[in-house]
Structure formats: structure tokens, C-alpha cells
Structure 1
Amino acid sequence: MKKKLVIISGMLFLVMFVFSACKEKGEVEKNQKENLPPATENQLTEESDLKAPTEMRKMTVQTTGGQVNPEEKIDATKVPRMVIKNGEIKIEIDNYDESEKKVVEIAGKFNGYLASSNSLLSASGKKQGTIVLKIPSDKFDAALMELKQAGKVMSDKVTSRDITEEYIDLEARLKNQKEFEQRLLKLLTEKATRLSDIIEVEQKLASVRQTIETIEGKMKYLKGQADFSTITINLFEPSMIETSSGGGFFYEIGQSIKKGLKGFTVITGGIITVIISLLPVVIFILLIVWIVIRIIRKKTAKKQNK
């Protein structure tokens, strides 16, 4: 009985010893964790540096190429239409200078202006040329009708191109690029700390600003084309009788006479050239003939004297 009690007491003592050792180990590990030193300032800076380029790459992926967010795209049916109109007229007139002056006056009447003008004198002595006018788009039709009264209209053509959706798309792209520019500026001033990150952000910022300038330039061009329509007027004074060469009847007669005189001059010049070239030979032959005749005459005279 005593032996059994000794064994049981030994086992209980062993269990208590193991339990005490495990508890002591847990308390030591807890104390080690609580006594760890705080993170240094350099470690925090390195963590923030790693976050900055990651955010910038995320922004770059979201906005590269200037893609338009479908939710932000404006409905083209709810905005005023933007249409580029172009007209071209060919008019036969009596006096070019007077008609040109009249055409420019009509343009001024409709708040338009002369964009360009060029003229030339044809082979038949008649004047012709091209005048380009810029007319406010809302007065295009009225101006075109009045310009047709300047002379006899030989042909006319009107074309138009709707640029509403194209312009709206450019507006949306411009908005996205400007928002991206602001985010890059914020990233540059607040989160980019390393030199490599700053250089990368500045390069992207320069690219975005160049894209903004390109979009603004195209928008300005399209708006100018839509606000002022273009009318091209071809004016010409008719010849008396038109021929295949474009000249008049009397002009063709004059040209024929000129060609005949030119041919006669060429032939005459050729004959004179041949004569001048052969003149030394002819003189030499005549000299020999004269000498022979003189000798023959002398011999004949001597025979008669005998």
C-alpha cells in the first residue's frame, strides 16, 4: 500500500513540474514581444517609398491612352450640332476685277472675310482666278445664294461633315487628361520621395501635358472650321470662241500666223546659212573659171595675129 502511494505521489509531482515549465516558457515569450523596440524612422520612410511608385503605376494603368470613361461620356444628341460646311461655285463673269470686288463686299455683308485670292491672265487675254471666303456657318446658305447672283453659275457643290461626336470625345479626353495631371502633381508633392520616383512622375507629367496641348489644338481647329464655313469661288471671263486649246478664234488665227512666220524665218535663215557656208568654195571655183577663160582668150588672140 505504501509503495502504491509513493508511485502516485511521484507521478503527481512530475505532472506539476511539466505544467510549471510550460507556463514559465509562455510568460518569457510574452515578455520578449512586449519589450521589442519601436520601428525606426528610416524603416517607416522606406515603407512609404515603396507605396509611392505602386500608386503611380496604378494611376498610369488607369489613365494611359486617354480612354474615356463610358459613364462620363456626354450624349451627343443632347448638345448643339457642330457641322463643317464647304461650298464651291464656278461663275462666268464679264469683268473679273469688278466681280471680285463684289464678291468680297458680299462676304463682308454676312460678317465674313476674304481668306485667299489668286488670279491669272489666260492665253486668250482673259482673266480668271479663285477666291476663298470664310462665312459664319449660320449665314452660309444666305451668303451662297447671293454669291450666285454675281454672274452665270456654271457649276456649284456643297458638302458638310458632322463633327459633334468627335468634338465631344475630345472634350472627354481632355477632362480625363487634366484630372490625371492633377493626380500626378499631387503624387509628386506628397508621396514621391526617392529621386527615381520623382523623375518618373515628371516624365509622365510632361507626356500628359503634351497630350493636353494636342487635344486643345485639335478642338480649336474643329471649332474654327464649324464656326466659319468655307466658300470657294472660281471666276472666269469667257473667250469669244473657245477651242480645244482654251483660246479664242482670233487668238488661234494669230497663233497660226506666228507659226507661219516662224517657219518662214527658219527656212530663210537656213538658206542664208548654206550660202554663207558655200561662198568660199563658189569664189574659188569662179576664180579658176576666170583664169581658164583668160588663158583661152590670150591663145585665141595670138593665133589671130599670126
Structure 2
Amino acid sequence: MRYIFFLFFALLSFSGCSKHEEPMAEMAVSAVKLPPKNESIANSDAKDKMADPASPEIPQKIIKEASIRFETDNLEDTFNRIQTAIAANKATIQNDSEGKDYDNIYRNLTVRVPSQNFDAFINAISKGVSYFERKDISSQNVTEEYIDLTSRLKTKRKLEERYLQILQKATKINEILEIEKQISAIREEIEAKEGQLKYLENRVSESTVTIEFYKTIAQKEGVKTSYGSKIWSAIESGFYSLSGFLLWILSVWPFIILFCVLAYFIRKRFKRKKI
């Protein structure tokens, strides 16, 4: 009987202790303050960005180009206006050509202008133009290509550093030669990637603008020529043609003499046959 009572008392004590421990456990858990879900994600992203030095966003790489053609009344004034716009926007003339067609006099310019001044330069040279026969403006986003080239270049440089470290530890001649061969191939790839990247950066930093302007020559100017002048021009043309023909004969005189000799002997032979 005594053992039964003791067992009953022990069970009551154990249940009482368990009821006490549950609220204390809940207090311990509630005392820990967990960060909000969004805050934890932001902290994780921040850590990833700090761990990755290439994480900052690269500015957009845009290649801008323009091609313009228009008519003007005065080529010299138009060129002076374009030169003023070139100086104001720190641009440079890459090509400059001029000439004359059947019905117009023209001048063509290829200008390299800093990309940040591209719009201002186009607006400056467009002033005073009544209409454009052609005005093509294009932009090409090469940011993805730029990032890809930069990443590949970085990888190649790391690979080169690794091979250089291996080269320092190599002892056999055949190993050294093989490693140097690999380093040479990697160096060629690095130089090629650097050239592509430099070319891309150059096209991004400076835009190309092609400008064609011309002045029409009136066709009525030909009517002003008198009839007598036309006759004299025809005589001169005939004289030049005759002179050209005589010069051509002088240039082929050996063949003419040879032909005459052959004709003489052939004719003489035919006469003998007739006799």
C-alpha cells in the first residue's frame, strides 16, 4: 500500500513539473527576435554583392551612328556652319571629300563626335536645313557583348596566372616547353580579346556621323552657249579626234609596214600565176 501511494505521488509531481516547463520554453523561444523575411533576403543579397566584386552594374554601352544628306544653296557657308558645330562639340573630321557630278557640286564629311555630344551636334548641323533627303540615326546596345568580353578576358588572365605559377614549379624540360606553349596560346587570346574590347569602347565613346551636302547646277546654263561657239567646239573636237587617230597610226607603224610588205609579195605572186 505504501508503494502504491508513493508511485501516485511521483506521478503527480512529474505532471506538475511538465506544466511549469512548457510556458518557460515558450518564453525562451519568444525572447529570440528573428528578422523579417524581406530583411533577411536583403542582407543575403548584400553579402553576395560584397563577395562578388563584379556585381556593380555596368553603365549601358550604346553605339550611335547617323547618316545625313541634304541640299544647300551655298557649300562654303554650310561647311563653315558644320565646322562651328564640330568645334563646339569637340568633334573631329575623319574624312573630307568633294567633287562634281553632272548636275551638282557636292561635299562629303565623316565626323567623329563624343557620344555625350551626339544629340547636340545633330541639332546644330540641322539648323537652316529646309528638308533632308536622308536622315538616318541608329543606336546599338552592346552592353551584353561588352560584359561577355570583359568576363572572358578576366577568365583568360586568371588562367594565365595559374599557368605561370605552375611554370615556376616545373622541373622537366618537356613540361616547361608544354606549359610555355599553353601560356603563348592564352596570351594570343588575351590580346585578341583586349583588341575587341578596345575597338568596342572606341565605338561607344565616339559616334560616327556621315554628312553629305550638295548644290544643284542649273541645266539652263547650257542654253547660254551660242550656236557659233557650238560649231567651234565641234571643229575642235574633230581636230582632237584627227590628232588622236594620227598618233594611233604612229604608234602602230611597224605593223603597217609589215602589212604593206606582205600585200606587195602576195600581189606579185598572183601576177606570176596569171602569166
Q: TM-score interval w.r.t. the shorter chain?
A: 0.5 to 0.7
Instruction: Give identity over the alignment, percent.
Output: 24
Q: Is the 8 A contact 2:89 2:113 kept in 1?
A: yes
Aligned to 1:214: 192
Q: What letter matches 2:140 in structure 1?
A: R
Q: How many residues align structurally?
A: 188
Aligned to 2:119: 141
Where in structure 2 are the equivalents of 1:217-232 lying within 5 Å?
217-232=195-210
Q: What letter matches 1:198 in structure 2?
A: I
Q: Of 181, 185, 195, which residue of structure 1 is paired with 2:164?
A: 185
Aligned to 1:234: 212
Q: Secondary structure at the match of 1:81?
A: coil
Q: Is the 8 A contact 2:64 2:204 kept in 1?
A: yes
Aligned to 2:22: none
Q: Is the 8 A contact 1:184 1:201 kept in 2?
A: yes
Structure 1 runs not aligned, ≥5 long: 1-71, 241-247, 271-306
- State how far apart, in whole Å, the 2-side matches of 1:182 and 1:252 are: 79
Structure 2 runs not aligned, ≥5 long: 1-51, 243-275
- State how far apart, in whole Å, the 1-side matches of 2:114 and 2:237 are: 60
- State how far apart, in whole Å, the 2-side matches of 1:259 and 1:151 are: 43
- State how far apart, in whole Å, the 2-side matches of 1:207 and 1:223 are: 25
Q: Is the 8 A contact 1:84 1:160 kept in 2?
A: yes
Residue 227 (structure 2) pairs with residue 249 (structure 1): no
> CA 1:252 to 1:175, structure 2 compared with 1: closer, same or farther past 3 Å?
farther
Q: Whose Rg is larger?
A: 1
Q: Is the 8 A contact 1:88 1:156 kept in 2?
A: yes
- State how far apart, in whole Å, the 2-side matches of 1:262 and 1:75 are: 79
TM-score by length of 2: 0.60
Q: Of 101, 104, 108, which residue of structure 1 is paired with 2:83?
A: 104
> CA 1:150 to 1:115, structure 2 compared with 1: closer, same or farther past 3 Å?
farther
Q: Of 76, 82, 93, which residue of structure 2 is paired with 1:114?
A: 93
TM-score by length of 1: 0.55
> CA 1:84 to 1:255, structure 2 compared with 1: closer, same or farther past 3 Å?
farther
RMSD: 3.1
Deviation at 1:122, TM superposition (A): 3.1
- State how far apart, in whole Å, the 1-side matches of 2:160 and 2:175 are: 16
Superposed structure 1 runs of 4+ greater than 4 Å apart: 72-76, 252-261, 263-267
Residue 70 (structure 2) pairs with residue 91 (structure 1): yes
- State how far apart, in whole Å, the 1-side matches of 2:167 and 2:223 are: 78
Deviation at 1:266, TM superposition (A): 4.7
